[in-house]
Amino acid sequence: MNTLLSRANAIFAFTLSVLAGLTFCCFVSTAFNEYKTNVTLKTVKAVVKNVPDYSASREKNDLGFLTYDLQADLRSLFNWNVKQLFIYMTAEYVSGNNVLNQVVLWDKIIRRGDEAKIDYRNVNPKYYFWDDGNGLRGNKNITLTLSWNVIPNAGSLPNVFGTGSHSFSFPAEYTTSRVM
């Protein structure tokens, strides 16, 4: 009845129960934190080209080029339960083809202990700013926002939008010269 295997099973089950309780306490201690901070975005230069999309259709689509400034102090988001932040900048706009377009232009992972104060000047996007048609030329309301996912040691994975966004417009004419 009290064999070595049954005693090991009891110790193992008790240990798992204690660890589950500690993990839940870890989650509850930071579950109601507000992971918001101010973000400053500014467009330095924006041009648009009409180039062939090298997919099956071979139609010409708009490709936006922009240079931007980004400042954010994310140090206040880190606490003992935050392992890392996945931050990303998106551009949202309305076009004739779609009611809402969202394009990720830049992303970065910031781990605990890394420098979490961002001050970038005259940066080009990490990813291409493609439109699936001609919705960028002359578009007057393109909004840049910075968002982040908080990756905790234990708990939920909140998706947070930064406080502050920036709206800009692309020119009404295509550029024909080499940009950036």
The 10s digit of each residue's pLDDT in 103-125 is: 999 999 999 989 999 999 999 99
CA 52 to chain centre: 28
> 70 — phi, psi (to 5°)?
-140, 125
**Residue 145 pLDDT level (bands cut at 50, 70, 90):** very high
SS3 (DSSP) at 178: coil
SS3 (DSSP) at 77: helix
> 6 — phi, psi (to 5°)?
-70, -35
Residues in the chain, overall count: 180
What's residue 129's pLDDT?
A: 92
What is the pTM (predicted TM-score) of this model? 0.84
Helix locations, 3-153, DSSP H: 4-30
**Residue 153 pLDDT level (bands cut at 50, 70, 90):** confident
The reply to whether CATH 1.10.10 applies to domain 33-168 is no
What's residue 70's pLDDT?
A: 95
Q: Which long-range contacts (CB under 8 A, 24 or more apart) does 90-94 make?
A: 90/144, 90/145, 90/147, 91/129, 91/142, 91/143, 91/144, 92/142, 92/143, 92/145, 93/135, 93/136, 93/139, 93/141, 93/142, 93/143, 94/135, 94/139, 94/141
The pLDDT of residue 56 is above 80: no
Q: Which of 162, 133, 164, 154 is nearest to 50 (CA)?
A: 133
How many whole angstroms separate alpha carbon 76 and alpha carbon 118? 13
Token digits for 19? 């660890």
